[in-house]
Chain A
Amino acid sequence: MSIALPQTGRASARPNIAAGILWYLLRGNRHRLTATIIYWMIMTALSHTLFSGVLATYDSLALSSLAIISLLPLSGLMLFIIGQFGMTISFDDAFKGYPSHMLRLPSSSAALAVWPMVFGIPTVCIAWVVLEKTVLTPIGIPTQDAMPCLGLCASLILCQCVTWAPLTPAPRLFLYTAALGLVGGSAFAIGFHDWHRLPFIACYSASIVLGVPLAIACVSASRRGEVYTPDFLRPIGERIGALLRRRPDIDATDGRRAQAWFDYCIEGAPMPAALIFFTVATLPFLFNVDRVSLVGPSESGWPIAGIRVLPWVFVVVMLGPLVATLLGGLLGHNPLPSTIAFLRPLTSTEIAASKLRAALVSAWATIGVVALFGCLALLTPATDGPVHGILGALLLRDLTPSRVPTIILAIVLFMLVVVRARVDGIWSSVLRNHWLASIQLIGPTLAFVTLMIWNSFGNVVGYFLTVHQSEIATAAVVVKVMGVVVAFVVLKRHRLITTSTIARQVAVWLVTSIGLAALTLAAVSWTTALPMTAVALSPVLVPIVRVSLIPWAIDKARHQ
């Protein structure tokens, strides 16, 4: 006899929480996951070809700088993986706790906490090993597999605990940063250093073992709606918040100054901040004393990896303005700041002037930050063979008068790049299209680097460009001068500029051009002076066109 069981349909299938969590993680992060895989594929290809062994030798400044810049997203990639398994889709979500809609699912707290760990631990380990084998080792950075894997697993579990803990956002952010910085940072660093392993192994293992029940308890508490507010942290949090929000006092003497203050607060701070961030974040790169032959270190001097100084300076100085432009663009993508300015009783030219005033302050702040770091570096104790002293004194000893114009030219060009980055930032915010403005800055840099790499392999185009660089650079300047003329005609037609302003801008350009030409002639030989002058004039000319057109663009954006 057989018993006919009722047909089970789809609705009565057993719920599978593991599959649900995996689907949530993959589906929610699919775009970032695709971008990560594409980045890894590109880096793998580059590590085995162009960047092969480049960071072991530092033979080429351009290639080693490019390799360092290309590797920077790597830390972001590991952060992304760790963040993703904290059940967070975006950076903001990390501070909102375990997704509230998932806390209401009919499954145990243990399942909700453990499954993301089960998926996360192998993913983190595999990601590190794959990156180490396919990218880091070929590029010339030998690492060790086991310790970073263990450390990254510990930081994953701690970050999960913090993310799911029933805390308010501010302490969660603090603990998250601390966990990631201490455990993740040490895990990352230990891969490159011969530090004593035992304390790290003990700390990491303890974090993993204790982290699992802690995470379950956190999810369980969150499900009960508990929120723990550590009151003793509040005064510290408020003080830190006040420090982060610190900004110059508003100059409310008139509308133009108030608007300039407003623009500086919105878009001016990212550039100096980005420069400080990149300087501090990439500083350890200079102090890797284990594997690189050093210039100048000894018992009495700070161990600076001299071979890495130039690529490091290049990376820091280039990334600051670049990231600031991108950030400015992202901020500009939010229409609100522009709308607020547009509704004030100011002319479009006055709004443009306020933005430029803020940009100038931002540029000077950035240059000030660079100067400060430069002074600190020059005051750092160092040794060079038998001679000891501060780095500045050692450099001065080697400084011949013929090098002075080159150094001044480099400083002036840096200042121009900074100003140009701010002008590009204004365009991003006015056009509300950060990609367009960013491409203007990144595009020529990428083209220049590509051309340089291409040229190093020996090719017809590269050869032609090298031979005719004087004519090409001069033609580029002529085209830009024509661009300036067209811009002035457009502005005059829209009654956005007066003849005296045009005269003033032309005078600024002429003075800068003559100064740059004189500097270039003093810095380089006569044969290369012409193309160098033309190249040096380009970053001055481009801002002049764009600066001139800003009032027109604001007028267009203001009255659509």
Chain B
Amino acid sequence: MQNVVEISGLTRRFRDQVALDNVKLTVPAGSVFGLVGENGAGKTTLIKHILGSLKAQQGSVRVFGIDPVADPVNVLGRIGYVSEESDLPAWMTVDELMKYMRAFYKSWDESYAESLRRDFDIDRKAIVKNLSKGQRARAGLLTALAYRPELLLLDEPSAGLDPVVRRDILAAVIRTIADEGRTVIFSSHLLTEVERVADYVTMIKRGRIVFSGPLDDIKATHRKVSFRFDAAVDTPPASPVVLHWEGSGKEWTAFCTGSLAEVDAAAKSMGAVIVTAASASLDDIFVAQATSRR
């Protein structure tokens, strides 16, 4: 499978703050790629590098095999971008917005744009600033989808929106995947949504990639395990497989990484027995990784 995005050794600093630290990432064509992380983890910075809005200080970024800074026309012409801050020109009418966007993209599909507008129930004559937050998000989505981009970049598109708008955004992701060979990079805090649609997930923490890979593989290597110790302990012993402990006395629950055999070996070395082991949701994995001190 060909990669749509290839990032290697990407480092970005804003004065003394390291926003991205030696990031290596590949996004295969035709995949839905979920990007998760806490606020300020570096997700938006990473997306801005893919757009070419930020120039790599170290490392390289290639989108469709092209440097987005050196050749913005060929990269931006194939990307649809929707951001958390609805960066649509507030003074335009929806009609003007559609005409304005149409001028830039040869592949703009007027009938598709019109059907999206009708589905999203947006008035052509309405001024963008008078649209509700949800409608503005839908208008942003419309302008990003109407030219059927090869890569759809969604940066926290559903933040602060109601479930109906979120459903529209998810439907847009699904619709984009339905077009063969198209790729979606989807950054979100709403992990249930990411879990629903993503094939691949990458988690960023303080500018570093914590895990990255197919969602099924990630879920297979993370589990919620209940341990019972022989005697009550104040703090369970540290273990390389344990991300996060919860509990008290003899009964403790841990979020673990690694295979079941590795967890079992770790339990023995700690002097504990495994009571139950269950697969963890993406939400559990996120919390465990975010609160882990590693």
Does A250 sit within 8 A of B, measured CB to CB?
A: yes
Q: A340-B89, A345-B73, A559-B69 are in contact. Are A252 and B53 (CB under 8 A)?
A: no
When A and B form their complex, what is the total count of cross-chain residue pairs whose Cβ atoms lie within 8 Å? 66
Distance, CA A265 to CA B89, complexed state (A): 11
Please choose the segment from A255-263, A419-427, A527-535 that sits at the chain B interface, where 4 or more of its residues have CB less than 8 A away. A255-263
> Which one of B53, B72, B88 has the greatest number of beta carbons of chain A within 10 Å?
B72
The answer to whether A345 and B91 touch across the interface, beta carbons within 8 angstroms, is no
Interface size class of B (residues with CB under 8 A): 20 to 34
Kindly identify, within residues 15 to 62 of chain A, every residue whose CB is under 8 Å from any CB belonging to chain B. Answer: none
**Do the beta carbons of B87 and A255 come within 8 Å of each other?**
no
Q: Is A133 among interface residues, defined by CB-CB distance under 8 A?
A: no
Which residue of B has the minimal Cβ distance to A345? B77
* In-complex Cβ contact of B76 among A258, A337, A344 (8 A): A344
CB–CB A250/B104 < 8 A: no
Contact present for B81 and A343 (CB under 8 Å): yes
Q: Determine the chain A residues whose CB is within 8 A of the CB of B77 once the complex forms.
A: 345
With A345-B72, A347-B73, A560-B55 as given contacts, are A255 and B91 in contact (CB-CB < 8 Å)? no
Known: A337-B89, A559-B55, A560-B54. A345 touches B104 (CB 8 A): yes
A504 within 8 A of B: no
CB of B67 to closest CB in A, whole Å: 10
Q: List chain B residues, Cβ under 8 A from A343.
A: 51, 53, 76, 81
Residue of B nearest to A254 (CB): B103
A336 at the interface (CB under 8 A from B): yes
A340 to chain B: closest CB distance in Å? 6
Q: What A residues does B103 contact at CB under 8 A? A: 250, 252-255, 257-259
Is B64 close to A, CB under 8 A?
A: no
Expressed in whole angstroms, the Cα–Cα distance for A158 and B187 within the complex equals 52
Q: In the assembly, what is the distance between CA of A261 and CA of B99, in Å?
A: 11
Whether a CB of chain A sits under 8 angstroms from the CB of B100 is yes
Partner of A560, one of B53, B73, B96, B100: B53
A340/B87 contact (C-beta < 8 A), A347-B72, A559-B69 known:
yes
A250/B87 in contact, CB under 8 A: no
Of the candidates A253, A337, A339, A346, the one whose C-beta lies within 8 Å of that of B73 is A346
What is the interface of chain A mostly: helix, strand, loop, or mixed? helix
B105 interface residue per 8 A CB criterion: yes
Contact among B55, B75, B89 for A336, CB-based, below 8 A: B89
Contact between B53 and A342 (Cβ–Cβ < 8 Å)?
A: yes
Q: Say if the beta carbon of A245 comes within 8 Å of chain B.
A: yes
Given A336-B89, A559-B69: A345 and B105 interface contact (C-beta under 8 Å): yes
Asked if B207 is an interface residue, CB under 8 A from chain A, the answer is no
Contact for B54 among A257, A266, A559, CB less than 8 A: A559
Determine which of B76, B87, B99 lies in contact with A252 in the assembled complex, contact meaning CB atoms within 8 Å. B99
Cα(A344)–Cα(B80), bound, Å? 10
Q: Is B102 an interface residue (CB 8 A)?
A: yes
Q: Is A558 an interface residue (CB 8 A)?
A: yes
Contact in complex: A250, B55 (CB < 8 Å) = no
B89 near A346: Cβ-Cβ < 8 Å: no
The 8 A CB mask of B78-97 against A (1 = contact, 0 = none) is 00010000011101000010
Number of interface residues of A (CB under 8 A): 27
* Bound CA–CA A348/B76 (angstroms): 13
Whether A250 pairs with B105 at a CB distance below 8 angstroms is no
A319 to B141 Cα, complex, angstroms: 42
Contact A339 B87, beta carbon cutoff 8 Å: yes
- B37 interfacial contact with A, CB 8 Å: no
In Å, the complex CA distance between A347 and B87 comes to 20
A252 touches B102 (CB 8 A): yes
Give chain A interface residues in 303-358, CB to chain B under 8 Å: 336-337, 339-340, 342-348
From 229 to 257 in chain A, residues with beta carbon under 8 angstroms from any chain B beta carbon are: 245, 250, 252-255, 257
In the docked arrangement, what's the CA distance between A253 and B53, Å?
A: 26
In the assembled complex, the Cα of A315 lies from the Cα of B141 at a distance in Å of: 48
Closest chain B CB from A143 CB (angstroms): 41
Answer whether residue B52 sits at the interface, using C-beta atoms and an 8 A cutoff: yes
Q: How far is B129's CA from A336's CA once the two chains are assembled, in angstroms?
A: 14
Interface string of A251-285 (1 = CB under 8 A from B): 01111011101100110000000000000000000
List B residues 90-121 near A (Cβ within 8 Å).
91, 96, 99-100, 102-105
Asked whether, in the complex, the Cβ of A258 is within 8 Å of the Cβ of B54, the reply is no
**CB atoms of A265 and B91 under 8 A apart:** yes
Residues of A within 8 A of B88 (CB): 340
- How far is B270's CA from A354's CA once the two chains are assembled, in angstroms? 68
CB-CB under 8 A from A559, the residues of chain B are: 52-55, 69, 72
For the complex formed, measure the closest distance between the CB of B148 and the CB atoms of chain A, giving whole angstroms. Answer: 14
User: A337 CA to B88 CA in the complex, in Å?
Assistant: 9
Q: What chain A residues lie within 8 Å of B75 (beta carbons)?
A: 345
Q: Which A residue's beta carbon lies closest to that of B96? A: A250
CA distance A255 to B99 in the complex (A): 10
CA gap between A275 and B32 in the complex, in Å = 53
How far is it, in angstroms, between the C-alpha of A340 and the C-alpha of B55 when the chains are bound? 17
CB-CB under 8 A from A346, the residues of chain B are: 72-73, 104
B140 to chain A, nearest CB (A): 11
B38-76 toward A: CB 8 Å interface, digit per residue (1/0)?
000000000000011111000000000000010011111
Task: List residues of chain B with CB within 8 A of the CB of A265.
Answer: 91
Residues of A within 8 A of B104 (CB): 255, 258, 344-346
Asked whether, in the complex, the Cβ of A250 is within 8 Å of the Cβ of B100, the reply is yes
B99 cross-chain contacts in A, Cβ below 8 A: 250, 252, 258
The 19 sampled A-B contact pairs (Cβ below 8 Å) are A250-B96, A252-B102, A255-B104, A258-B104, A261-B100, A262-B89, A265-B91, A336-B89, A339-B53, A340-B88, A343-B76, A345-B73, A345-B75, A345-B105, A348-B72, A558-B52, A558-B53, A559-B54, A559-B72
Instruction: List 5 A-B pairs, minimum CB-CB distance, nearest first.
Output: A258-B103, A345-B77, A255-B104, A252-B103, A345-B76
- Identify the B interface with A (CB < 8 A): 51-55, 69, 72-77, 81, 87-89, 91, 96, 99-100, 102-105, 127
| 15 other A-B residue contacts (CB within 8 Å) besides A345-B76, A560-B54 | A245-B127, A250-B96, A250-B99, A252-B99, A252-B102, A253-B103, A258-B100, A261-B100, A266-B89, A336-B89, A337-B89, A340-B89, A345-B73, A345-B104, A558-B72
